[in-house]
């Protein structure tokens, strides 16, 4: 049966990561509005003078002209739509951008369109590029990405008994995917304590958008509590740690490292 789809097509996407292959080629992992996560080959881009090289950097939003093949489709042209130059001016912001990309990369299924997930990543990179506080942005991004990919944590009632959550300390179960009331706390002995302040903040972040997230004011202890809960939940879902998250932990509390190290986070 002959192929009914056009052999040449154009697609928009954000480069999540890339890896070297062959003598001068690269395999790109994109997240696209139309097809979700997609792998393509960019031929010859590691050769000096390649016109495509600058358009396929990690965390670049570009359009791609692609040739369909029996194996991985081949990129023949690329044009940058958003390069996010300010994001690339410091190692910490690059690392946060790579964390956003890596989280989507590991959570999203192959070639399954999810326009809200694409729009969420694009908005997060735009805000990061504009100077938004990265940790607050990350908490909003995590909660909304979990929601659009089908892992929304239950914060409105007890995940076990479905009962109302009274204004008191509860627990968060990464295994069950939500808050446990004091009566159901024993359903998961690994559940983490959840303060009333953190629960209110998580609900606010879940309801609002990323713009609201970056304006939220929290005590340092509450920020740490929320970050730990979400990281535990994400680790439980993925059954692994993320390289970019580990790299960000290394960066905390030490002088900024050379900028060249940041580019390795999105490489294989």
In a 3-state reduction of DSSP, which class is residue 203?
A: helix
Strand order in the sheet with 178-180: 178-180, 170-173, 192-194
Dist CA 61 CA 79 (whole Å): 9
Give the pLDDT score at 252: 77
pTM, 2 dp: 0.90
Question: Can you read off the two tokens belonging to residue 198?
Answer: 């953190």
Give the pLDDT score at 124: 98
- 253 pLDDT tier (thresholds 50, 70, 90): low
Is the predicted pLDDT of residue 196 greater than 50, yes or no?
yes
Q: What is the mean pLDDT of the chain?
A: 91
Dist CA 66 CA 29 (whole Å): 14
Is the predicted pLDDT of residue 2 greater than 50, yes or no?
no
Dist CA 19 CA 254 (whole Å): 29
* 9-61 confidence digits (pLDDT tens): 999 999 999 999 989 999 999 999 999 999 999 999 999 989 999 999 999 99
Which residue, 199, 202, 152, 161, is CA-closest to 182?
Answer: 161
How far is residue 218 from each of residues 115, 141, 201, 202, 229, measured CA to CA in Å?
Answer: 31, 17, 8, 11, 15
| φ/ψ of residue 200, rounded to 5 | -65, -40
* Alpha-helix runs per DSSP H in 62-186: 91-107, 115-129, 134-148
Dist CA 38 CA 236 (whole Å): 25
Q: Work out the percent of the chain whose per-residue pLDDT is above 70.
A: 92
Is the predicted pLDDT of residue 264 greater than 80, yes or no?
no
Average pLDDT on 235-263 reads 73
Taken in order 266, 246, 82, 54, is the CA torsion positive or negative? negative
- Residue found by looking up tokens 């139309």 in the block: 34
* 156-193 confidence digits (pLDDT tens): 999 999 999 999 999 999 999 999 999 999 999 999 99
Give the pLDDT score at 192: 96
Return the bridge partners of 14, or none: 31, 61
How far is residue 221 from each of residues 165, 197, 218, 227, measured CA to CA in Å?
Answer: 22, 10, 8, 10
């Amino acid at each position: 049966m002959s192929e009914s789809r056009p052999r040449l097509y154009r697609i928009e996407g954000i480069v999540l990561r890339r890896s070297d292959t062959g003598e001068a080629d690269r395999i790109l992992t994109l997240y696209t509005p139309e097809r979700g996560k997609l792998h393509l080959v960019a031929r010859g881009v590691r050769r000096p003078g390649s016109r495509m090289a600058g358009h396929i950097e990690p965390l670049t939003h570009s359009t791609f002209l692609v040739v369909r093949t029996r194996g991985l489709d081949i990129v023949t042209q690329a044009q940058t739509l958003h390069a996010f130059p300010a994001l690339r001016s410091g190692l910490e912001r690059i690392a946060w951008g790579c964390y956003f990309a890596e989280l989507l990369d590991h959570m999203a299924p192959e070639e399954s369109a999810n326009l809200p997930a694409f729009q969420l990543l694009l908005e997060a990179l735009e805000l990061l590029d504009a100077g938004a506080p990265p940790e607050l942005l990350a908490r909003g991004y995590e909660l909304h990405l979990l929601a659009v990919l089908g892992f929304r944590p239950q914060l409105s009632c007890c995940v076990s008994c479905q009962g109302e959550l009274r204004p008191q300390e509860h627990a968060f179960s990464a295994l069950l995917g939500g808050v446990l009331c004091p009566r159901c706390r024993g359903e998961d002995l690994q559940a983490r304590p959840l303060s009333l302040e953190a629960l209110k903040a998580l609900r606010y972040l879940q309801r609002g958008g990323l713009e609201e997230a970056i304006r939220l004011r929290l005590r340092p202890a509450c920020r740490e509590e929320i970050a730990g809960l979400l990281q535990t939940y994400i680790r439980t879902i993925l059954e692994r740690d993320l390289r970019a998250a580990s790299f960000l932990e290394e960066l905390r509390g030490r002088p900024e490292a050379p900028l060249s190290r940041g580019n390795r986070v999105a490489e294989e």
